[in-house]
Amino acid sequence: MTMTILLSTKEVAKFLRVNEKMVYTLVAEKGLPATKMTGKWSFPKHLVEQWVEANTINYPKSPQPSAIHQNLLIITGSNDPLLDRAVNLFNKTYHEYAAVFGNMGSMGGLRALKQGLCHIAACHLLQDDEEEYNFDFASSELESMPALINFSRREQGLLLAKGNPKDIQAVADLKKTDMRIVNRSLETGTRLLFDRELVKAGVKPESVKGYEKEMPRHLDAGLEILSGRVDAAPGIRAVASLLGLDFLPLRWERFDILVPKEKFFDRTVQAFLGLLTRETLESLFEGNAGYDLKTTGKIIYPH
């Protein structure tokens, strides 16, 4: 507990740079904070400082956010080809705004949201019940629950070389001695799911060649397979479709965007949310392989 510092009449006069008689005038006519509890006038220093501040004219206004910050939309979190296209569409549609994306993985996006570094975080973090997504993680990372809006549902699985020459039929096949993979980074929801699937299949990570080699994006992982350098990687069907790869499905997941409630009605955020319709996103990804857009743009609540 902080102790209140009391100034004498002489001390407050010196502090205010006036004579002692003027101090009494300021008490009577200007409301200078004072107390006579001890029989003599005393002046709580912190209240005197507040009184000076309150009576200051031409007080400089708090700096307002610049137009750059007001018109900039920052999205961080999980990488997704359709999200990339939605960001590009936003920039083409709204010339007065600019949207940027920071590829940090789902957990990185949540942490950026916590630090106030972004307006939106894209996440697909599977909870322990293997039914819900994102709510438990947001609750543990953030002081208050953000709004969760569905961007899409996506099909997760293993990206495989065209024709599946290594005959990979299940996650357990990744421990074959002639197998090579690349992985996704620790902050991603794809890595979280992949590690769960390895545990279920009884596969130790150290038995999988290439497990420690991490790729920053789904597309990067797919390109490693397309080049022939590796045989498989965890990823989404959309990338297999883009690159002409085979795909072993594991599960459909919910891919959400999280918006703090205090930023929800920002102009840039509302403009971006306005683009999230099934019709708009279908037009951005021909064939929509690996995406289910039935709940796109809808606010999600925990079951």
The confidence score (pLDDT) of residue 1 equals 44
Cα 301 to Cα 135, 136, 194: the distances in Å are 9, 12, 26
Average pLDDT of the chain is 92
How far apart are the C-alpha atoms of 261 and 147, rounded to whole Å?
Answer: 6
State the CATH architecture for 67-292.
3-Layer(aba) Sandwich (3.40)
Residues above pLDDT 90, as percent of the chain: 78
| Cβ pair 236, 290 in contact under 8 A | yes
Q: How many residues does the chain have?
A: 303
Phi then psi for residue 242, to 5 deg, are -65, -40
Residue 272: count other Cβ atoms within 10 Å of its Cβ. Answer: 25
- Tell me what pLDDT residue 103 has: 96
Give the pLDDT band (50/70/90) at residue 302.
confident
How far apart are alpha carbons 91 and 97 in whole angstroms? 7
Domain edges within the chain? 6-53, 67-292
**Tell me, what DSSP letter sits at residue 42?**
B
**pLDDT, tens only, 81-110:** 999 999 999 999 999 999 999 999 999 999
* pLDDT tens digits, 153-166: 999 999 999 999 99
- What confidence score (pLDDT) does residue 285 get? 86
pLDDT score for 59:
63
Give the contacts of 227 (CB within 8 A, at least 6 positions apart).
none
Render pLDDT for 173-226 as a digit per residue (tens, 0 to 9): 999 889 999 999 999 999 999 999 999 999 999 999 999 999 999 999 999 999
